[in-house]
Amino acid sequence: MTEILGPQKLGPLTPLVGEWEGDVGVDFSFHNKDGGTAETSYFERAWFKPIPIQENGNQTIEGLKYEMTAWRHGEEAMDPFHDEVGYLLWEKKTGVVLRTVVFGRGIAIQAGGHAEPRDKKIEFTATPGDANYGILQNEYLSERAELIGFQGSFTFNDDGSFSYDQTLTLKLAAMGGEQMTHTDRNTLQRVKRFHPGSQYA
């Protein structure tokens, strides 16, 4: 049976529109209280909503605003341990995709890549000091957990779910300046589709 798809106005971002939940998240990071690295499993909620077309002179950008919030398993009724808000943007003419994200720890990242309208995987990278795809963080973190690289991807699965992987590369003062990778991954299922006209609510 041939799959029938719409015009993909949002290009490779189109499959993300809606609200999502995922219960198989795994975070690998340095735990300050324990003085070492460990894995944490988590439950996550996310939503992605279309934004109005953005025009910068001759540049036209389609996109989504989004939010992703995660709770450690067993702490779903408590404060989340991770929260991020941002935009996913796509320029049809060039195929450029952008992930502009702010983490609730005082970190801001503008990551970029390239993708075609029906790509099953989108990848983003950023490095500190890059004029276009860079990383900023607050002074406290710069002194203790300096971010030196970011890589992330969204993969659209055949069952309608999507998976993501992301890696933050850091120099940790608590480990004598040694490099480590902080990784997160999860697979989310859509729990709600947005009705046309609700995207700006």
DSSP element (H, E) containing 144: helix 139-144
pLDDT in tens, 90-123: 999 999 999 999 999 999 999 999 999 999 999 9
pLDDT at position 196 is: 57
Phi, psi of 142 (to 5 degrees): -60, -35
Domains detected in the chain: 11-192 (2.40.128.20)
Phi, psi of 187 (to 5 degrees): -125, 130
CA–CA distance, 170 with 105 (Å, rounded to integer) = 15
pLDDT at position 121 is: 98
pLDDT at position 3 is: 61
Residues of the chain with pLDDT under 70: 1-7, 195-201
CA–CA distance, 76 with 128 (Å, rounded to integer) = 34
pLDDT at position 7 is: 63
Q: Classify residue 143 as exposed, middle or buried by CB count within 10 Å of its CB (0-12, 13-18, 19+).
A: exposed
Residue 2: CB partners within 8 Å, gap ≥ 6? none
CA–CA distance, 164 with 162 (Å, rounded to integer) = 7
Q: How far is CA 109 from CA 11, 16, 99, in A?
A: 22, 20, 8
